[in-house]
A and B are shown apart, each in its own frame.
Chain A
């Protein structure tokens, strides 16, 4: 399979990248000014005349499969200011969007203060892919589905699907919602850490909580305007010092995307849980923070049954469909088991 033809734009600094982005966002929608994407407006991702490439581990295979045939590809890799982990004076940390997953995995600072993130980053794909893949890319990872991540010829065989070129969803044939699963490993960890994202455009920057970044729709899964770029990930000081565990269901010990993933961040006070958060991934079109988990766990002493209750809570909001290997029932069951285990492990973990 060949890459479709495109024009490569290489930005050396952020300002330049944002200008490119602004121009293309404008040209893709003639006569309109760039605006926040309406979730009712379908296929905006695929209509876009420009795609951004950082590590390329998600975009390049998708382009070969003709999921994206952009006129322009904007290469960010030379933008130094978006790379690196910078502890902030207030105790929080700022992570440049181009920081590789490998750098995050190996960061002593993050391991000490935000261990759930390093553990999740270390589980992404394989070492080779982590050398290339970036944290920004993992957050913006396209949702995945067996009916979508296929070649053009293959997709033609099934008559296409909502997410690209078609009008029905093969995994939930009755409806018109795209159920492609969000399959990033780091976002559930980042959700536990109350991460904020800095989104920049030529006209300014804004900050959005990670939990508001995802829409829950498989085909238009993120709130990112066409002229915007994810530039930084910010972790607040208040999330530092939580123990962290990430548990990932996969068939192989390496390479695989998660089939279900659970992140747990926990703060203990003596033998009690002071605070705990649970994030899940790969079982919904968006990574989710398990609502009510903090209330369930905080102030209590952890035991097996409490961990199980947390597992049930997480399983309740997971709605895996047949978007990947292993049956949905099994994957949901594993959210329950893995949450239980992750909560127990987080309570055991050293700070």
Chain B
């Protein structure tokens, strides 16, 4: 009884850990229903083309093919944002990227479906494609979407304070271009959807639809299905089975989810579609390639006077979350440090590539890399320690930033202090061996967006709780467990509030028929919002139990304490008057307790015998309460308070959050100066999560964020050639393996937010953004070069080193070494053989017939 809490704050195994680790758990692709068929999607081979005709006749005639769905089967647009309804489930007139969805074959086997895809004839008229955002912005004709002039999805221009004056007042100004190349989520589980219609008994036609899908947002899926299929939402049930990771890649409606339903309707049979890894890359919705022109000014004392950022995001062919992404990239310039003047010009640009969307650290990561790198440059320019310059610019919470973000809890100072201390920063910085260095960087993130995507006053989360006579507590929540620990968090909060053991709680989650609306697992909102809703629902039930218990104990409901499966009079807590559950158990069994249930008659008997008590067991109290109230249910919901919803300017809706998490990291790296290879040895990562409800889970999230950030920093990059993704697989798209994963020391900082459940804030995303600049700054400390383009591949590092050696100014955002003999930017067609010409193939007519065969080298 040392802690204020009995459940939260203790390392707790995930409630679904056993089924996941033993393999008994069911992911969507593990499911099947009688009569289920397989769907396979035909994708566009062209980055930009008009569809003149589609002939599916031959495919339909293939034995085993049941149906072929095309655009005309559901010619309705949708999109995750109300302002971005620009996607057809299957292309109607145009395809906009290699991999765009053209048709769907439903067949009895995957092999047959694949064969049928080869039999579909599509007549395309190829259009010029746009692959570079800055080129795309110049487009006058053949626009990707007719109504989006210059292929600009959306642009925003924000000015807070007086940036020009701020820069004029600065003692030191830095200006540079940064580029972060495109990365994707690479979740382990590929997307999968199973759609099944019930036959309406009255009409004999397809009636209610059930969809099982690997999604982070069951409610949005239900909503979009209703739009596209033109069915009322209440006729659609979305169930989320186990999900093998999302990271934002499943936080919107992915084409296969709607295509499966359309195909099932056309085939009149249940249809399952599971993406291949290549299709996952095409569905994408990852972090866009971002070009950041950044200008920051500081005074000699390290105070930031102004920031100007021009951000161009290569958004791909559809809007997706794009408007939100570009807004986050500007809004989250605020709320980390105290910056008096901010100018932001953001452009979300369309290109003929798969759509980018939300990815862990949505919108903030790339700009954070640029900002934290530049701050490091400024620190060294004014001769200040990089940790110190960050301390000089702290916010004074509670406060509202210049761009309207409300900060109520702020653990950044402690995060910086702890990482500096644990990493031995003061003793070791600048004193490491040649080629080895330390770098520091900070970041932050929202604990849920204060404004939901679909503007309304509805609560963002609602939770129902039901307790029955068996003393079991069932929590119904729409929140989506995607591996992040949502169900465990829900169970913990319910158990803590009700003072019962965790094993009593069963969480029923993410089934639109059973669970009340929750807008989903994205923007790190679940602990804060669904957690608060759970807290409130449990509080409501607790009140009912307390009222009944108080009666039997002859005291006020307020004087009843719930803890460790006991309900006790406050005055008696910790005294001998408390009956321990074990003693109670043996006594109760005499008086008729059977298998954990207390029979009504015997209980009344017992009450009569015993008179008023000092304490009662949870089960007893539940039975009493049900007898007293008739039923034991509670509901709680959460909507962010009006004060937290941000300013009034255009685009002000994105960025505000009821609370922000904070992170500071120190990375230790070494650089091989001959090869440019960077090795990360250790990362100290402090994260302010408000309160750690489940410390082991928080640590896991911090380590995972650092690891994912390291992937973007060093190895991960989607490589394009004329709209073709050159590495659509996990062999060539290189997420780090365990071999090069460094030791990560997670440090939990608890600022206890006034509005978070038990003070908790987010912990899953905020840490990622600090890792990339921490590594970049450590590279600078190690070998004195600034990397302005991520990932910091060995060739980019080597190019920077060479340029430094030659004392050349090198535009490091070109991605290549201009001092090298030939230039090379994209894959496909090296200039290495320019002039000489490659060896001719023996069959080439231009080659002499008697040329020696083989051994051409």
Contacts and interface: CB of A to CB of B under 8 A. Distances in A.
Given A175-B838, A179-B838, A153 B854 contact: no
Interface stretch (B194-202, B240-248, B374-382, B723-731): B723-731
Interface string B839-857: 1111110010000011111
B806 interface: no
A78 interface: no
A14 interface: no
Contacts of B843: 40, 42, 176
Nearest to B714: A251
B841 A176 contact: yes
A319 B727 contact: no
Interface stretch (B19-27, B131-139, B592-600, B818-826): B818-826
- Chain B interface main SS type: loop
Contacts of B829: 170-173, 322
A103 to B, nearest CB: 22
B202 to A, nearest CB: 40
Interface stretch (B620-628, B737-745, B767-775): B737-745
Interface in A136-183: 146-147, 150-154, 156-158, 162, 169-179
B45 A156 contact: yes
Contacts of A307: none
Interface string A266-284: 0000000000000000001
Contacts of B795: 326-327, 329-330
Contact of B841 (A147, A162, A249, A252): A162
Contacts of A171: 828-830
Interface in A319-339: 319-322, 324-330, 333-334, 337
Nearest to A321: B830
Contacts of A330: 794-795, 798
A317 B857 contact: yes
Contact of A175 (B109, B732, B841): B841
B276 A170 contact: no
A244 interface: no
A251 B857 contact: no
A24 interface: no
B793 interface: yes
Interface in A24-41: 38-40
B737 A174 contact: no
Nearest to A323: B827
Contacts of B854: 39, 215-217, 223
B736 interface: yes
A165 to B, nearest CB: 13
Interface stretch (A81-89, A184-192, A233-241, A253-261): A253-261
Interface residues of A, number: 63
A319 to B, nearest CB: 7
Contact of B857 (A1, A172, A285): A285
Nearest to B740: A253
A40 B114 CA distance: 33
A286 interface: yes
Contact of B824 (A153, A288, A327): A327
Given A1-B276, A42-B843, A256-B734, A329 B824 contact: yes
A122 to B, nearest CB: 13
A288 B856 CA distance: 11
A253 B737 contact: yes
Interface string B112-142: 0010011000000000000000000000000
Nearest to A219: B841
B675 interface: yes
Contact of A329 (B715, B820, B856): B820
B838 A252 contact: no
Interface in B243-277: 276
A156 to B, nearest CB: 5
A286 B854 CA distance: 10
Given A151-B276, A217-B856, A174 B838 contact: yes
Nearest to A168: B841
A205 interface: no
A337 B844 contact: no
A156 B740 CA distance: 35
A214 B727 CA distance: 27
Most chain B CB inside 10 Å of its own CB: which residue of A151, A176, A337:
A176
B828 A322 contact: yes
A157 B46 contact: yes
A2 interface: yes
Contacts of B853: 38-40, 215
B833 A172 contact: yes
Given A215-B854, A322-B830, A252 B715 contact: yes
A337 B674 contact: yes
A5 interface: yes
A154 B844 CA distance: 26
A126 interface: yes
A114 to B, nearest CB: 25
Interface string A283-319: 0111010000000000000000000000000000101
Contacts of B817: 329
B278 A153 contact: yes
B857 A176 contact: no
A262 B815 CA distance: 26
A254 B737 contact: yes
Contact of A2 (B111, B719, B821): B111
Contacts of B737: 126, 252-255
A321 B816 CA distance: 16
Given A177-B844, A324-B732, A327-B824, 19 more contacts: A146-B726, A146-B732, A154-B724, A169-B841, A171-B828, A176-B840, A177-B840, A217-B842, A217-B854, A253-B740, A256-B731, A256-B734, A322-B830, A326-B793, A327-B816, A329-B817, A329-B820, A329-B830, A330-B798
Interface of A: 1-5, 38-40, 42, 126, 146-147, 150-154, 156-158, 162, 169-179, 215-217, 223, 249, 251-257, 284-286, 288, 317, 319-322, 324-330, 333-334, 337
8 contacts: A2-B110, A157-B98, A172-B829, A178-B841, A223-B854, A249-B675, A254-B738, A321-B833
Interface of B: 43, 45-46, 98, 109-111, 114, 117-118, 276, 278, 674-675, 715, 719, 724, 726-728, 731-732, 734, 736-740, 793-795, 798, 816-817, 820-822, 824, 827-830, 832-833, 837-844, 847, 853-857
